[in-house]
Amino acid sequence: MALNPFFLQGSQGEQRLVQDLINEQLQIYGVEVTFIPRKFVNQKTIIEEVQASKFDDNFAIEAYVENFDGYAGAGDVLTKFGMSLRDEVTLTISKERFEEFIAPFMNADDDIELASRPREGDLIFFPLGQRLFEIKFVEHEDPFYQLGSTYVYKLKCELFEYEDEVIDTSIEAIDTQVEDVGYIATLKLVGIGITATASPVIGQGYIREIFLNNDGSGFTGTPTVAISTSPSGNAGDNATAVAFTTERAGVRSVEKILLTNAGANYTSPPTITISGGGGIGAAATCSVNTSSAGVIRFIITNNGVGFGTVPTVTVSNPALGIPSQKAIGIASIGDAGNGFNQVNSIFVSDAGENYNNTVTVTISDPETISGVGTYIFNEVVQGMRSGTQARVKSWDQDTGILQVGNVGIGTTTTTFFAGEDIKGLTSDALFSVATFADDTTDKYNEGDIFESEADLLIDFTESNPFGSF
């Protein structure tokens, strides 16, 4: 039998009235909380596993606190891993208010899914206790279809357990909730850098440039480059060079050959032999200048320190000032043994010509001559060489200690290099890394202390202290 047509079982007007009354009651008796939606940084497509997430939006909304006699849940529990806080809270919010004042802005973001209602995993900042809660379940049918509709969401929340998520809502009271928890990396930074210096050696009858005629293939190591000796018979006049390999499409070949000494007193192009390294087919020739002087090698007078990237080597113009006759040097950097990079050598890519004894060599400054700026809490910092990004937890300029979290989240690089520069993408602060260490910090976890203290009381190596059965 059909329903009585003379009774509406709830008209739109009645539903509107109920919704307005609920909204009014929430605004009178409720508490203003902050709703923080979860966004997925990267997610597996097979089983929808979330590898990393972030919280960078915030929406104020009124909520009724149903826990009138205190937090629900198991409370504070002492476990073998430390103190575990299991407080819970149930909040009621208006369905209409959420759908009209929050959902439209969430829908504008492609990272948000199911944005028409609160989702499990979203966060609620509860201002009375200054705490973050995670939504564990959303009940959207209680009360059950009064007058044929639903009007509220009941959010059953548990105290949020931080797992290295990115929290950047721009509200200090919220963002600082996780300032000292999670996986925190400690970087010892220094603001020093020394410019490298070098002097040129000028000579005649030298190799002007090496030409790679065939890059070969199948190399598993670095081949040896041999150049026939100088006619002068002087060992210091013999040209020397090194090869650099590269891999393309799974095939390793010679990429380039650079001179470490362009030689002197050659009257004709010497023979260049490339051997070893497990490959075959590489061949090179060279041109020789016998009519004027060029830069045959570089002598490093100061290796410098603090280079995050390879510096630029600039040689002054030759006597005639022709750009095509200018010598070209290429620097290489390596660890100085103290965690910082120095200039190890300068190769001759082109010895140039028409030089006299008045030649200057300039090496560009390291990125950090002196540390500048102050890192800002929660800003993104980036390693200038590794490309690794992280978020600032704390910065002490007096000690040079920078603590960061979310190291490498959403990327494939998860570590900083010793000696590279760390730049603040917001503050432009810039310092160099001396040491880098991971540190797991949790103010509620004292498991290590319990374990060390227990070892003083019970020695499991002698016998079973609990008896044998």
pLDDT tens readout for residues 171-229: 989 988 888 877 888 888 887 788 999 999 999 999 999 999 999 999 999 999 999 99
Q: CB of 180 within 8 A of CB of 42?
A: no
Q: Which two tokens stand for residue 51?
A: 């590898």
Tell me, what's the pLDDT at 51?
Answer: 59
pLDDT bracket for residue 444 (50, 70, 90)? very low
Global confidence as pTM: 0.59
Asked if 207 and 161 count as a contact pair (C-beta separation under 8 A), the reply is no
Q: Could you report the per-residue pLDDT of 306-332, keeping only the tens digit for each?
A: 787 899 999 999 988 788 899 999 999
Q: Which residues contact 346 (CB under 8 A, 6 or more apart)?
A: 198, 298, 300, 313, 329, 330, 331, 332, 361, 363
User: What average pLDDT is seen over the chain?
Assistant: 85
Can you give the pLDDT at residue 8? 72
Using CA atoms, how far apart are residues 140 and 439, in angstroms rounded to an integer? 41
C-alpha to C-alpha distance for 205 and 203, rounded to whole angstroms: 7
- DSSP assignment of 327-338, as one string? -EEEEEEEE-SS
Per-residue tokens: 144: 């059950």
Give the ranges where 30-101 is alpha helix by DSSP (H). 95-101
Query: Following CA atoms 289, 293, 298, 301 in sequence, which dihedral angle do they give, to the nearest 10 degrees?
Result: 170
Token pair of 4 as six digits: 């009585």
Coil vs helix vs strand at 24: helix
| Average pLDDT estimate for 422-450 | 70
- Which of residues 442 and 121 earns the better pLDDT score? 121
